[in-house]
Structure 1
């Protein structure tokens, strides 16, 4: 296919309730010369029928792939493999984008561009982040993400296809949580600049089933992902980024996910035993940075049970 500027990749698995609206939002872009690639990852509902109906009624270039269920990472990797665009954009099957999403993202002057995401749950929407810069270096952006100074989701970016394909960057099927952040932070390390738009054009839909504990403690997998990322950065001579992962990103991820488990009613002893099993106490102790957060970690490590009881009392007083 000629003159394909952007490939929009949409993995689908049992998303019949949402995929129609998602595809409508992609089809109705105020941008020319893009293709839609949908990978149906073994859906057992009528998602594929809806996809066929929507895309067969449009003149936009599109590819529909049906494969046995292999997971969202394999589906996205397949989309990358068959894509024809100069740039890649990812949209999840239950989210939607505003009509100017692609036009805000497309920028042939930088390797990446970024828009803002709005989280929407029922009638509640989050406020998008606002940047003061129009352009930022990829390294500065990575540093901000590793310090968790900015909210970030990999769908905010448009990716130069050559960077992804020439460096064989793929989503890892070994993990079910955090693999998309890993993909983005690997890709960004091969680029130079990110163009920034403060337009909120991606709506990340949060549904009640999102909180269901289907993966148990798999959220702690993100520690392994960031350890792999630290090794990757070190191999590229980016020792400062590698060290930042160990002393900031991993401890914050551990602490954040621990509190997520507490908030969602996981048993205290189960959480603590899992953390001991994964050597997370030792990794948590390596935090360097904000003194208030460091104090929280110190108090927790000193006596996890007291920390938990105080946290629970404060949580109940707020609820």
Structure 2
């Protein structure tokens, strides 16, 4: 039985942390799970109490930061402490979901990774819940080419811990679009090793994204997308040149090409339709009514 290390960074997320941990336990059939909670300097009473209670449970490992260092550092410290064969990060206010027809997202993902070394990582569809319901707009299978063109990479990807042992970590200088940057890092490092990278996909949905307004999320932070993307392109310039061969070898031109290739909502919807038309129709019906709502826009519906 494969062991999966599930890293849960948590900062003042005590309202949701129990649900997150319970969902991991309940949806881990077929694998052994190591849950690593990284308390990133929580200060509110609820979080401190919940973390204290969870700290007495033997199947959990809790890493504590004396002060808030940011989600990237928290994830990286969790990854460095992981001992499983495979790794998954889960946000503390989100949950894993049961998948009909499979033992669990974790068991099916590890089966795929263990039987095909060309698979770089495995992902699943993401379903929103809480203040908004439905699949996220990027609900379709990924390919390496799409990731290079700035299609969304979710946090919920399962990959081999060997990648971490070989130096893969989150880029702490990238303050937004970190999951995309991490996906690029994983694929680009394999490309540098002349390894083929395919991406496994389990429809599910196997991950639940909680939409709420009780705290801000990084996705709502105002940061220059060009500047954030440039940090990634600079590190993996040759990888991006291989994907954009017609662009001059200038970092600004290359970055501009990557940002320009990012799909808008309509293009994402067309990708969804090409994968499963009923999903796209459901999104179009639901969001046509909701997208003009200031409440939904404030929540940053993905």
Partner of 2:284: none
TM-score by length of 1: 0.65
5 Å-filtered alignment, 1:1-319, equals: 5-28=3-26, 29-45=28-44, 46-54=46-54, 56-57=56-57, 60=59, 62-67=60-65, 68-99=67-98, 100-107=104-111, 108-109=114-115, 110-122=119-131, 124-126=133-135, 129-131=139-141, 141-147=143-149, 151-155=152-156, 157-166=157-166, 168-191=167-190, 192-209=197-214, 217-218=222-223, 220=224, 222-236=225-239, 238-241=241-244, 243=247, 246=255, 248-251=257-260
* Count of residue pairs brought into register by the alignment: 244
CA distance in 2, matches of 1:194, 1:30: 22
Secondary structure of the 1:56 match is coil
**Greater fraction of residues in helix:** 1
Instruction: Structure 1: state its 5+ residue gaps.
Output: 257-288, 290-314
2:8–2:37 CA contact under 8 A, matched in 1: yes
Deviation digits for residues 33-54 of structure 1, max 9, x if unmatched?
2201110000002324313424
Task: Give how far 1:247 is off.
Answer: 5.0
Instruction: Structure 2: state its 5+ residue gaps.
Output: 99-103, 191-196, 248-252, 268-291, 298-302
Partner of 1:310: none
CA distance in 2, matches of 1:105, 1:24: 20
Secondary structure of the 1:208 match is coil
TM-score by length of 2: 0.69
Task: Give how far 1:143 is off.
Answer: 1.7
Aligned alpha-carbon RMSD (Å)? 3.5
1:179–1:225 CA contact under 8 A, matched in 2: no
Structure of greater relative contact order (alpha carbons < 8 Å, 6+ residues apart):
2
1:6–1:86 CA contact under 8 A, matched in 2: yes
Point out the structure with max Rg over C-alpha. Answer: 1
Partner of 2:280: none
Partner of 1:308: none
CA distance in 2, matches of 1:213, 1:50: 23
